[in-house]
Amino acid sequence: MQMIRSALFVGQIYVAMLVLGIVFAPYAIVSRNGAYAACKTYCKWVFWTMGWMVGIKGEVRGDVPQGEVLIASKHQSFLDIMLIFHALPAAKFIMKRELLYAPIIGIYAKRLGCVPVARGKRGAAIAKMVADVEAGRAHPGQLIIYSQGTRVAPGAKVPYKVGTAVLYQQLGQPCVPVATNVGLFWPRKGISRRPGTAVVEFLPEMLEGMSKDEFMAQLESTVEARSDALMREGGFEPNGVH
C-alpha cells in the first residue's frame, strides 16, 4: 500500500509542477517575485501532500539566515532543496548547466538568479557571478552550494569539493552549513517514500577569513557529524553502511 501511495504522490507532484509553472509564468516573466511566489507555492503543495499521502513531515531547525551568506549543504534528495529554498528569503543555487534546459525548472532557475555551472568550468561561472553581484547586475541573496557536488545516499561517504572554499573566499561572506537526514524518507532515486520526520538544520555560522584547508575541514566535520546525528534520530545508523 505504501508503494502505491508513493507512486501516486510522485506522479501528482510533477503534475503540480507543470500546472503551477504555467499558471505563474506571466507573473514570473515580469517579476522575480513572481518566480519566488511560484516556487514557494509549489513547495507548500509538496509539503502538504507528502504529509497525508506518504506520511513525511518536513522540519527546518536552526537559525535561518536572512542576509547575504553562502549556504553549504549536504544533499540527499529533491526534498532538501525544497525545504532549504522555502525557508530562505532569497535563495538561489549553484546548479548543473544541463538543468537550464529542463522544462519549467530551467525557466524558473534563470528568473531566481541561479548560477549554472558547466562541468570543468565552475571557476569561471563563480567569478562571473561575483562580478555581477558587485556590479549590481545580479540579485543578492543566499547562494546555496552542495559541497559534495551530488546527491549522497544516507551512510555513503563522498568527499567534499574544494570549490566551496573557493567560493567562500571569493564572496568574502560568512558560510552557514546545513545538515540533513531527508534521504531516509525521500531517497535520491526511485519512487518509494517512507514515513517520518525529514529534517534540514541550519548550523552555526562560519565567519569569513579562514584558510581553504581550515574552512574545508571544519565544514565537513560539522555537516557530517550533525547529519549523522539526524540520521540516528531517524532510526538509521550511518556508520553501518560502507
Give the domain extent around 95. Answer: 56-240
- Evaluate whether 153 touches 188 at the Cβ level (below 8 Å): yes
Q: What are phi and psi of 58, to 5 degrees?
A: -95, 140
How far, in Å, CA of 238 to CA of 45, rounded?
30
Higher pLDDT, 149 or 232: 232
Q: Is 85 inside any structural domain?
A: yes
Residue 30 lies in a domain: no
Structural domains of the chain, count: 1
Q: Please, how many CA atoms are within 13 Å of residue 74, restricted to the half-sphere of its CB? A: 32
Determine, yes or no, domain membership for 161: yes
Q: What is the sign of the dihedral through the CA atoms of 26, 115, 145 and 175?
A: negative
pTM exceeding the 0.85 threshold for the entire prediction: yes
Whether residue 209 has pLDDT greater than 60? yes
Q: 104 — alpha (psi -120 to 50), left (phi > 0) or beta?
A: left
- Per-residue pLDDT, 108: 87
pLDDT(81) > 90:
yes
Query: pLDDT digits over 89-119, tens only?
Result: 999 988 777 777 777 778 888 888 887 776 6
217 lies in some domain = yes
Q: Give tens-digit pLDDT for 145-204.
A: 999 988 999 999 999 998 899 889 888 899 999 999 999 999 999 999 999 999 999 999
Residue 26 domain flag: no
For residue 182, give the nearest of 203, 161, 196, 165 by alpha carbon: 196
Burial status of residue 4 (CB atoms within 10 A of its CB: 0-12, 13-18, 19 or more)? exposed
Residues 6+ away with beta carbon under 8 Å from 61? 199, 200, 201, 202
Confidence (pLDDT) at 128: 64
Dump pLDDT digits (tens) for 4-31.
999 999 999 999 999 999 999 999 888 8
Any domain includes 108: yes
Domain assignment present for residue 63? The answer is yes
In-domain check, residue 62:
yes
